Amino acid sequence: MFAKEIYIRRRSALCGKMGSGLILIPGNMLTPNNYLNNAYYFRQDSSFLYYFGLNTPALVGLIDADSGEVALYGDDFTVEDIIWTGTGAGSAGQFHHAYAGDDHSSPGG
């Protein structure tokens, strides 16, 4: 989507508005049509997209408004997931490193 610095600034602005506490931003899950791996077209949650820029199902972002620390959680893809979705599948840790990582981040998951 955009450069990761844009998402870092957006999360920083959110932390400034919240003041303190933890902010949980869940992404959307796949919605199966007639069986698990035959899902309807995926549409990510707008808030999750705005703050993290990831159009991948089953991820959850956690932001500590006090410290600015960010964690991204999700399950690693199984062999079956990779067969159905292709080689572009990755883990939450890989996504965290590529998109959500900033100076105050901890590895998610």
5-30 confidence digits (pLDDT tens): 999 999 999 999 999 999 999 999 98
pTM greater than 0.85 (yes/no): no
| Coil, helix or strand at residue 20 | coil
Please give the radius of gyration of the chain, using alpha carbons only, rounded to the nearest integer: 14
Residue 81 corresponds to which tokens in the numbers above? 């997931």
pLDDT reported for residue 87: 59
Distances 75 to 13, 14, 48, 62, 92 between C-alpha atoms, Å = 28, 26, 17, 15, 7
Percentage of the chain exceeding pLDDT 70:
77
Instruction: Give the integer Cα–Cα distance in Å for 74 and 59.
Output: 5
